[in-house]
Amino acid sequence: MDFPIFHLEFLGNRMLIAITAIIHVLINHPLAVGAYPLITLLEWWGLRKGEPAWDKLAYRIVFIVFIITTTVGALTGVGIWLTTSLVAPFAIGSLLRVFFWGWFAEWLVFISEVGLIMAYYLTWKRFATPRLKRLHVAIGATLSAFSWLTMALIVAILGFMMNSGAWTQDKSLWSAMFNPLYLPQLAFRTPYSMFTAGLFVWFCIFFVTKRDDPIRPRAVRLVAIWTLAWLPLVVLGALWYWRSVPAAMQANANVALLTQAFSQWHGMFIKIIGYTVAVVAVMALIGAVRPRALPRYALLVPFVLSIWLLGHFERVREFIRKPYVIADYMYANGVRVSALPVYQRDGILPYATYSAVKQATAANALVAGHEVFMLTCSRCHTTAGMNNVITKFEHLYGREPWDHEALVGFIQGMHLTRTYMPPFPGNEAEASALATYLRSLQPPAPAVSAAPAVLTANR
């Protein structure tokens, strides 16, 4: 197997992917998927009412959405492919093989979506007559459908990574696409995209209209009603999605929500999520009933809270599927489940193309241990940066020199007590070499000052 050698020490490989992917989702869902239907609705409403003010408002908002989606959105979309290819080519390669035709269809839809985005924005002012304006609204509706379809195809892959379902038996694209988590996750992401789009557009209204503009309170009321209407569907979709998550993954939720150090605060965190939903609902209700009552900066609160929830959802979704990167098929370190017995028998070094050594011995233990760390641990851990293993072992064994045999025992059995950790994919000699390497990284214990003892003696 061809293991990569890329390693971003200060940030960590998994964090590199996470930052890129989460930023992309935070742009894609509220703007690309949710905002275009709402903007099209505003444009259609103006056409129906015969009021150009609605059209002018919609155009100002679509300009903001167009700039963000075609710059940061596009860059992070490409960035996902770049980071996954660097960090986990084995995982992305496996997904490409499974979803080849699904991804091919998604790219066709995506290219069409980009063309529709360009057409929708660039032809806005040219399509000024009622007949052309109706055509323009149709372009917006088509763009909205294609934007949603792009997400719908990608959600199939995200669901597959958490629960591969019947694919492990029949290896069919149909089973992979319509995995057990596909519909529940789509039922959550769709209304959430529309809901957060409402909060974003609502916030924009206060910056693209003047205080005394008569269109402002009317637009706020319409968008607030849109936002409020989608909120119950968000809650129902979230409940369906959570109940569909495998029990083993639900068991990882405490750590996924708050990290291992604060996992005991799980109940409090759930309450915070509930309070967040309640605050957003109340503000949307006020906007629908009394659109002039809320100052524009107050709208930062629900928008930021909704983005925070979406970002945290992505973090939890990524974590709870551990120890897998593809459920029941590939571990988070890129080792296929079927290959694990072979690596535990022969060692992983003989199968690694870029390893400096092919076998761990007493003479090369330090070098072999570093290679084993890079192959089996560096997808998720660093040695001195974020999520570093030195801090982890200091929490376990303190600052005193670590016992070699204790480290070896933990490495070989860590998956038994920490179910989100994959089994160690190496033999006894490689576990010993890894322990040697980790011990070489341990900082020296702080010297104990003798001054207090001397002062006591002098007294």
- DSSP secondary structure letters along 17-66: HHHHHHHHHHHIIIIIIIIHHHHHHHHHHHHHHT-HHHHHHHHHHHHHHH
Give the Cα-Cα-Cα angle 188, 192, 228 (nearest 5 degrees).
Answer: 120
Residue bearing the bigger pLDDT, 288 or 149: 149
Token pair belonging to 123: 């032809």
Count structural domains, the chain: 2
Which domain CATH number covers 364? Answer: 1.10.760
Q: Which residues contact 372 (CB under 8 A, 6 or more apart)?
A: 348, 349, 360, 426, 430, 433, 434, 437
Neighbours of 381 (CB within 10 A): 21
- Is 458 domain-assigned? no
Same domain membership, residue 426 and residue 367: yes
> Domain range holding 388?
337-441
Contact indicator for 257, 320 with CB cutoff of 8 Å: no
Q: Is residue 263's pLDDT more than 90?
A: no
pLDDT of residue 438: 94
Residue in the block written with tokens 């040697």 = 436
Note the pTM of the prediction, 2 decimals: 0.85
Q: Could you tell me if 316 and 357 lie in one domain?
A: no
Same domain assignment for residues 251 and 396 = no
Are residues 148 and 113 located together in one domain of the fold? yes
Looking at the chain, how many residues does it have?
Answer: 459
Question: Are residues 377 and 285 part of one domain?
Answer: no
Which residue pairs, CB below 8 angstroms and at least 24 apart, start in 65-72?
65/31, 65/35, 65/36, 65/39, 66/117, 66/121, 68/27, 68/31, 69/27, 69/28, 69/31, 69/32, 69/117, 70/117, 72/23, 72/27
In a domain, 450, yes or no: no
Average of per-residue pLDDT across 284-296: 77
Question: How large is the average pLDDT for residues 271-295?
Answer: 78
Looking at the structure, tell me whether residues 274 and 192 fall in a common domain. yes
Let me know whether 361 and 321 are in one domain: no
Q: What angle do CA 349, 355, 357 make, to 5 degrees?
A: 70
pLDDT at 203: 86
CATH number, domain of 118, equals 1.20.1630
Opening angle at CA 181, ends 110 and 74, nearest 5: 25
- 326 lies in the same domain as 343: no
For residue 8, tell me if it sits in a domain.
no
Q: 254 by DSSP, 3-state: which?
A: helix
Q: Which two tokens stand for residue 75?
A: 């860059």
Across the range 290-302, mean pLDDT stands at 72
**What is the reported pLDDT for 48?**
93
Are 149 and 116 in the same domain? yes
**pLDDT tens by residue, 1-42:** 555 567 777 788 888 888 898 899 889 999 999 999 999 999
Residue 445 DSSP code: P
Residue with token string 């560096």: 378
Terminal Cα distance for the chain, rounded:
69
234 and 376, same domain (yes or no): no
Predicted pLDDT at 395: 86
Cβ contact 9:384 at 8 Å = yes
89-126 per-position pLDDT tens digit: 888 999 999 999 999 999 999 999 999 999 999 999 99
